[in-house]
């Protein structure tokens, strides 16, 4: 059962979080809108879509910082009003006071990770397309890829609608062409491609002294290319860094089988899953270095110091992630190692204050 002081702390923390989060969102979106106003499409609907997608893409930057800033603001508010000192004086431990905030921060991180399983992860890409092409997503054309021993040609691919037209599949085994599948159009549904108006041309086995004819079969609907997601195809063609968690996992498997370096995709995946945990760990670490009372400290100066330290640590981790995406540093060293270090350090501080 949640105790009264825990309820008070978590409500205070969430209130400050949403105030800071909304403020940072409005600031980010407002500055970006003013900066790119002349490049925006003339349509009011597209401008509203641009603002919406820009707000969603800004969450990648504003959420972790808001989680940390909310803790700083909440605790300094309690220090100024002597609430923190009063809670200590009635026997509430340091660990008991940080746990509500820590679990609140973890809850917000899990919401963010869940969103990255959805199309939310493509908000920045949609925003950029609106700015450059005045449309949410543009079709790719003349794509030629290899997938599970098959060579696939897409005349035109629309990743948003998950549709393609003029598709050709060349099935090769033992360095010999086995069959050619052609279709006028297809749609990706239930993790597979459903092709329409399909013609399958099969090459016969040629044996000595026997005649062999090419076999041609026609199908209204033909199922093939399981789990060959449109975003994987687009990523292979354009080198897009914007991928959801599911698409990133499939892309790693796809490019790994082709012997292609997957560092950029792995970095993107680590950013979506592990990087957000920087915020709850920093929250715990900063908490144990807060003063008990403001009587002997310059709270304004200390507040600035904690904010500066939060921005610096976030900036260093973000820069390491960029180095990893360019294969300068391995993603494990650039992202996983610092997050694990912060987690261990936070755990050590927690155990020392039991």
What is the secondary structure of 254-312 as a DSSP string?
A: HHHHTT---HHHHHHHHHHHTGGGHHHHHHHHHHTTS-S-STTS-HHHHHHHHHHHHHH
pLDDT given at position 180: 86
Structure tokens at 135: 């449309």
The answer to whether residues 243 and 265 touch, using CB atoms and an 8 Å cutoff, is yes
The answer to whether residues 269 and 249 touch, using CB atoms and an 8 Å cutoff, is yes
Does residue 149 come out as left (phi exceeding 0), alpha (psi in the -120 to 50 range) or beta? Answer: left
pLDDT given at position 15: 94
At 182-214, the pLDDT tens digits run 888 888 888 888 888 888 888 776 665 455 567
pLDDT given at position 68: 93
Tokens 């694990």 correspond to what residue?
340
Q: Among 134-143, 230-239, 280-289, name the most confident range.
A: 280-289
Q: Are strands 163-173 and 150-158 parallel, antiparallel or unpaired?
A: antiparallel
- Residue 165 burial class via C-beta count within 10 angstroms: exposed 0-12, middle 13-18, buried 19 and up: middle
Strand order in the sheet with 163-173: 140-147, 150-158, 163-173, 176-189, 192-202, 215-224
Mean pLDDT of 327-333: 84
CA 227 to chain centre: 20
Other beta carbons within 10 angstroms of residue 140's beta carbon come to: 18
pTM for the whole thing? 0.83
pLDDT given at position 353: 80
Q: Is the pLDDT of residue 240 over 60?
A: no
Distances (CA, A) of 17 to 25, 74, 310: 12, 9, 15
Q: Is the pLDDT of residue 304 over 80?
A: yes
Mean pLDDT of 220-237: 76
pLDDT given at position 207: 60
| Choice between 197 and 149, residue whose per-residue pLDDT is larger | 197
| Choice between 276 and 165, residue whose per-residue pLDDT is larger | 276
pLDDT given at position 210: 56
User: CA dihedral in degrees (27, 31, 32, 35; nearest 10)?
Assistant: 180
Taking the C-alpha atoms of residue 307 and residue 319, their distance in angstroms, rounded to an integer, is 18
Query: Mean pLDDT score of the chain, rounded to an integer?
Result: 84
Q: Is the pLDDT of residue 81 over 90?
A: no
Structure tokens at 113: 């990770």
Helices (H) and strands (E) in the chain, counts: 12, 6
Taking the C-alpha atoms of residue 4 and residue 76, their distance in angstroms, rounded to an integer, is 20
């Amino acid at each position: 059962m949640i105790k009264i002081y825990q309820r008070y702390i978590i409500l205070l923390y969430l209130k400050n979080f949403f105030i800071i989060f909304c403020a940072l969102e409005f600031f980010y979106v407002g500055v970006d809108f003013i900066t790119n106003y002349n490049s925006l499409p003339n349509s009011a609907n597209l401008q509203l879509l641009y603002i919406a997608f820009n707000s969603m893409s800004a969450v990648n930057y504003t959420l972790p910082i808001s989680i940390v800033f909310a803790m700083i603001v909440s605790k300094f508010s309690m220090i100024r009003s002597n609430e923190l000192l009063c809670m200590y004086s009635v026997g509430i431990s340091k660990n008991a006071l940080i746990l509500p905030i820590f679990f609140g921060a973890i809850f917000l991180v899990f919401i963010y990770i869940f969103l990255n399983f959805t199309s939310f992860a493509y908000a920045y890409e949609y925003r950029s397309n609106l700015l450059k092409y005045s449309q949410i997503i543009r079709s790719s054309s003349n794509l030629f890829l290899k997938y599970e021993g098959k060579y696939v040609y897409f005349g035109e691919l629309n990743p948003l609608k998950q549709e393609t037209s003029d598709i050709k599949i060349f099935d090769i085994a033992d360095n010999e062409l086995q069959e050619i599948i052609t279709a006028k159009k297809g749609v990706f549904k239930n993790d597979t491609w459903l092709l329409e108006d399909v013609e399958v041309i099969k090459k016969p086995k040629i044996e000595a002294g026997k005649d062999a004819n090419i076999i041609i079969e026609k199908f209204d609907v033909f199922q093939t290319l399981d789990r060959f997601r449109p975003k994987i195809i687009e990523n292979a063609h354009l080198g897009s860094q914007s991928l959801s968690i599911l698409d990133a996992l499939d892309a790693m498997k796809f490019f790994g089988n082709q012997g292609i370096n997957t560092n950029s995709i792995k970095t993107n995946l680590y950013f979506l899953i592990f990087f957000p945990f920087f915020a709850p760990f920093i929250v715990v670490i900063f908490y144990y270095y807060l003063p008990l009372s403001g009587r002997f400290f310059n709270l304004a100066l200390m507040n600035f110091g904690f904010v500066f330290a939060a921005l610096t640590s976030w900036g260093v981790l973000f820069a390491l992630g960029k180095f990893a995406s360019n294969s300068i540093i391995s993603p494990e060293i650039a992202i996983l190692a610092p997050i694990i270090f912060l987690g261990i350090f936070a755990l050590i501080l927690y155990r020392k204050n039991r």
